[in-house]
Amino acid sequence: MQSKPRLLAAAGLMGLVLAISVACSSSSESGSSSSASGSSGVDEVTFMAGFKPQANLPFVGVYVAQEKGYFADEHLKVNIQHVATPGDNFRFLATGDVQFSTADAAEVLNKRAGDPALDIVSIALIGQRGQQGFAVLADSGIESPKDWVGKTAGYKGSDVTPDYLAILSANGIDRSSVKEVKVGFEPQILTERKVDIFPVFVSNEPDTLARLGYQVKVFEAANFGAPTIGLTYVTTGDEIRNKPDVVQRFLRATFKAIHYSYLDKNRQEAVDDVMKYASQEDPAHQRFMLDTEMRAAFSGPALTEGLGTQTRDQWQKLHDYLVQYGALPHPLPDVTAAFDDQFLAAAHVYPPQ
């Protein structure tokens, strides 16, 4: 299903010319809008973020592209929405009411392996490493995962994650030597010392805890050899087959916005744009989130291949990792169906030096 063109050389990428044209843009928090092209030649699409308004980097790419007029330059009118209930974005992608969204890479594979299977496709891997970590209080005496033995680890959701199990395995820790308890999402359970190890999103809770006056140490599975990758821009196979030009223009506008926001001189402006959608959030916390996710985006393969790069090796290793720890309903016959890199070359600009 995918075309896998070789990425252009750096000079060629830097010489790409972004398409310029005029259109209108708007944002909306409710309802759904199908992709449509009016007599004006403007294509209208809906982007639904996979969480509430905040400075996750794929969200920022959309917010800034909207505010800077980059979507309008690409003859796109983009309606910006956010999920009201977890999973809404996948449901509306499947019905065609939403054309673009965000998803963790592991979630993409899970949706494709689900029943019914959803034809969700990653068109850009923004997070080059996983989002999750495990926080311990800095004064806890825990210096490495080997110190988890005899401690209490919290987990969210129905069970512990592959990342947690991978850290145990990499450090030769018997799972039965750590007490595991189901917890909620409030990190105060760590500060109250009801657990010793608390699962966090590395761009979120560590800063929240610091603002409460607690310094933490965060362990990430990627640092112990786990092949984790993070947030993606997603669409559907139908959208790619039927409207590849719309997909290309959406990605080009968001990449332009992310590269604009990458520059130190523009970073606070990007946060200001986030606050137009996330007015109830703390601007300093949003800056922490954006800075953290920028570092993850411009790391690993993206340092040489460019923003959004995704490879079969990355996706295959993630797939096998999830299968190893029982985190997929069943193995997928062809992992390349989960991602499409054909749009990256024309959207790329190498990371600013």
Phi and psi at residue 264, to the nearest 5°: -55, -40
173: domain range? Answer: 132-224
Same domain assignment for residues 239 and 339: yes
Same domain assignment for residues 44 and 116: yes
Q: Which two tokens stand for residue 36?
A: 């449509």
Among residues 197, 224, 251, the one where a domain terminates is 224
In tens digits, the chain (353 residues) has pLDDT values of 443 333 333 333 333 333 323 233 333 333 344 456 555 689 999 999 999 999 999 999 999 999 999 999 999 999 999 999 999 999 999 999 999 999 999 999 999 999 999 999 999 999 999 999 999 999 999 999 999 999 999 999 899 999 999 999 999 999 999 999 999 999 999 999 999 999 999 999 999 999 999 999 999 999 999 999 999 999 999 999 999 999 999 999 999 999 999 999 999 999 999 999 999 999 999 999 999 999 999 999 999 999 999 999 999 999 999 999 999 999 999 999 999 999 999 997 533 44
In terms of Cβ atoms closer than 10 Å to its own Cβ (0-12, 13-18, 19+), residue 181 is exposed
Same domain assignment for residues 125 and 239: yes
Among residues 193, 209, 224, the one where a domain terminates is 224
- Quote the radius of gyration of the chain (alpha carbons, Å): 20
Closest CA to 254 of 298, 178, 307: 307
End-to-end CA distance of the chain, in Å?
A: 35
How many residues does this entry show for the chain? 353
**Residue with structure tokens 């145990």?**
168
**What CATH number corresponds to the domain at position 91?**
3.40.190.10
In whole angstroms, what is the distance from residue 134 CA to residue 143 CA? 12
Which residues contact residue 25 at a Cβ distance below 8 angstroms, ignoring those fewer than 6 apart? 66, 69, 71, 72, 76, 77, 78
Same domain assignment for residues 96 and 198: no
Domain total in the chain: 2
Would 2 be classed as within a structural domain? no
Would 3 be classed as within a structural domain? no
Same domain assignment for residues 99 and 233: yes
pLDDT of residue 35: 55
Would 57 be classed as within a structural domain? yes
Whether residue 352 has a cis bond before it, omega within 30° of 0: no
pLDDT of residue 37: 59
List the beta bridge partners of residue 82. Answer: 49
Same domain assignment for residues 216 and 253: no
Same domain assignment for residues 118 and 24: yes
pLDDT of residue 348: 72
Would 274 be classed as within a structural domain? yes
pLDDT of residue 65: 98
Would 1 be classed as within a structural domain? no
Same domain assignment for residues 325 and 219: no
Would 352 be classed as within a structural domain? no
pLDDT of residue 91: 96
| Structure confidence by residue, pLDDT tens digits, 235-247 | 999 999 999 999 9
Same domain assignment for residues 57 and 201: no
Among residues 170, 198, 224, the one where a domain terminates is 224
Same domain assignment for residues 280 and 296: yes
CA distances from 348 to 13, 15, 286, 302 (A): 6, 10, 25, 10
